[in-house]
Structure 1
Amino acid sequence: MNLPNILTISRFILIPIYLIIFFDGHARIAFLILLLAGVTDILDGHIARTRGLISQIGIMLDPLADKCMMIAVILSLLISGMIPWQAAVFMFIRDISMIAGSAFFHFQGKLTVPANVMGKLTTVLYYLAILFIVFEVSFATVYLWFVIIVSMITSVIYIVQFMLLNRKAN
């Protein structure tokens, strides 16, 4: 257990805190919890890379923490009526597929693709979309659909990278 992995685990702990605050009627404060989770994500990655603390468990847990937080956010926004159910379905399918796919292939002994620039960009775009939604910006839903399209493109890129990485490994 190293510092980056502890930071990753802290993001799992922030999920119920986010949900409690959100459903207590404080969506904007809950957004700050989401931002805190984002900061820990940036920190754990930076520390792991600069101090040579990248671990296989970290490669697996980091995106899982991100996806679990995003699923909690999607669920809270859906239940509160802040996003259309169709958008939530696309977002759920993508995130749950990535979690299930990563776990399945990890246990099959396949190599996992670490986060890349497109994945990080997609995360930032999702955070902006959530900010726009929570603060009721007029174009928030249109922007959310744009981000969903970008995230689907990013998913295809990850799938291609996964296939190439594992083809080389065999």
Structure 2
Amino acid sequence: MNLPNTVTLIRFTLIPIYLTIFFSDLPYRMQWAFGVLLLAGITDVIDGYLARRHSQVTQLGIMLDPLADKMMMLAVFLSLLISQRISIPAAVAIFLRDLGMIVASAFFHFRGKLTVPANIMGKLTTVLYYVALFLLMFDHPIGTEFLWGVIIFSFVTSLVYLIQFNLLNERSM
């Protein structure tokens, strides 16, 4: 287990911490919860940087990194749904897209297929989701509309990944 993958595993531990804070009675709980979310985002940047800088990009890391991102996002959106900050249709769209990406990635990884590393569209989708989360967690009036724009963009990004996945695995045969 290399350092970048260890940093990715730390991101998994931030999920229950986020949920505990979000549903707590702590003063400034939204600020604290968003801080944990930002910490998860920072560790995402750090593990990617370390992996590339030190030539430690692994197939395990390529699979775990987006899984950690998606699990955190699913936890956050679930908390927003339970607290009625997002609608059921928005939550269903997000959950279906991310769950589909998780299942497909794991399925193909365990079948020995090459997985596609994060690209600029995937990174932009993540950044846009963070902006949407900020807007929603702090009750900004355009939060819902912004979220729907990001959801649409995320489906386009998924389509691009699917195309890249097919091209990558066709070439490796």
CA distance in 2, matches of 1:165, 1:134: 38
Q: Which residue of 1 aligns with 2:7?
A: 7
Partners of 1:123 and 1:164 lie apart in 2 by 23
CA distance in 2, matches of 1:148, 1:160: 19
Q: Secondary structure at the match of 1:111?
A: coil
1:15 Cα deviation (Å)? 0.3
Which residue of structure 1 lines up, in the alignment, with residue 21 of structure 2?
21
The reply on whether 1:31 has 2:34 as its aligned counterpart is yes
Percent identity of paired positions between Structure 1 and Structure 2: 59
Residue 53 of structure 1 is matched in structure 2 by 56
**TM-score of the aligned structures, taking structure 2 as reference length:** 0.97
Aligned-partner residue type, residue 71 of structure 1:
L
Alignment match, 2:101: 98
- Counterpart Cα distance in 2 of 1:48 and 1:57: 12
- Name the residue aligned to 2:43: 40
Task: State the match for 1:138 in structure 2.
Answer: 141
Distance in 1 between the 2:102 and 2:60 partners? 14
Deviation at 1:21, TM superposition (A): 0.1
CA distance in 1, matches of 2:35, 2:119: 25
Code of the residue aligned with 1:80 in structure 2: it is: S
Is the partner of 2:85 in helix, strand or coil? Answer: coil
Deviations 1:118-165 (A, max 9, x none): 000000000000000011111100000000000000000000000000
1:88, distance to aligned residue in structure 2 (A) = 0.4
Task: Give, in angstroms, the shift of residue 44 of structure 1.
Answer: 0.2
TM-score (norm 1): 0.98
1:119 aligns to 2:122 (yes or no): yes
Are 2:150 and 1:150 equivalent residues in the alignment?
Answer: no
- AA in 2 matched with 1:58: G
Stretches of structure 1 lacking an aligned partner (at least 5 in a row) = none
Count matched residues. Answer: 170
AA at the equivalent of 1:12: F
**Runs of 5+ unmatched residues, structure 2:** none
